[in-house]
Every structure is written in structure tokens, then in C-alpha cells.
Structure 1
Amino acid sequence: MFFPAEGDRIVVTRTMKGSARSTSWVGTATQVLPFHKSDSGVWIGGWRLTGHNLTTGEPVDSHFACSQSLARYGHGEQTVRLATERD
């Protein structure tokens, strides 16, 4: 699985558990927290994404859990990749 580095321009596509609809965002990853087991035993990781929704153009400035965390706790599926010029 791809995990962004600080400052990477990425595309995140997410489908939450129980939903047939996917949502995609493009933006810059900051405040990157690598996937790891916390002191309390919970697996965590993620980043802050500043950008916009690829469908609606709506701005986003939010924290995203990494794909591994979502999969581990059964919250849904997510793909992450580096953005291209076409995004």
C-alpha cells in the first residue's frame, strides 16, 4: 500500500463500509503520522489533506486515516496514490 510523505500531492479514494458510493479527493498531505501501534495498543496512522473533492470541487482540509487503519478496523476501503497533472 502506498503511504504519502510530507508534502506529497495525492489522490485519496474512499468507500465506507455499507456504502456503494466512492468519494475522491486530491490535495497535499501534511502532518503525516506513519502507520504504527500506539502506546495504548491501537494501530494508527494518517495525514491531513488540504485540497478538494474531485467530483464537486468542494474544498477539503481534514485528517484522513491511512488505508491500513481503515482495513484493520473494518471501516471501509481506501486507495491512495500520487496525483498526476491530470488530477
Structure 2
Amino acid sequence: MTLTCSSKVCSFGKQVVEKVEMEQAQLEDGRFKYHLLHSPMCECLVVTNRDSQELLLCTAYIFEASTSERGAQHHVYRLVRD
């Protein structure tokens, strides 16, 4: 199975750059492993099966910092599929 790994960087809600790579499994110790060494952890990472387009992994990191009279604030966001 070939994986498609899409890394995106966004700034102020707009996509700035996207890198798409294809990865093949390598047999190691009797297991097939994928090494996404050329795709560092970005703000948004999507991994799909290239042949079936099945979504395998989707991560997004959103960092928000703010101050108020009540102290430091933070928000937790959840990714949902359209």
C-alpha cells in the first residue's frame, strides 16, 4: 500500500504552503513500516491510502494564546470530517 502524506502550513487561517509525498512500506523485522522522515510534524498532516483515498490519519495543531483579567486562556478544537 502506498501512502500519500500531505503537510500544510497555515497562517491567519489561510494555507501558505503544502507538501505532498508518496511513501512505500519497507519490510523490517517481519512488519511493513512507513518512515515519514521527510515530512516533519506540521500544523496540519493528512495521511491517506493513495489507491483507495481512504483517510488514515489527520492531525492539526492550533496554538492560541491570549490574556485576560481571568488569566491565561486556552481552547481545544476537534477535527470533524465533512
TM-score interval (norm. to shorter) = 0.3 to 0.5
TM-score by length of 2: 0.37
Structure with greater helix percent: 1
Greater CA radius of gyration, 1 or 2?
2
Structure with greater strand percent: 1
TM-score by length of 1: 0.36
Relative contact order, higher structure (CA 8 A, sep 6+): 1
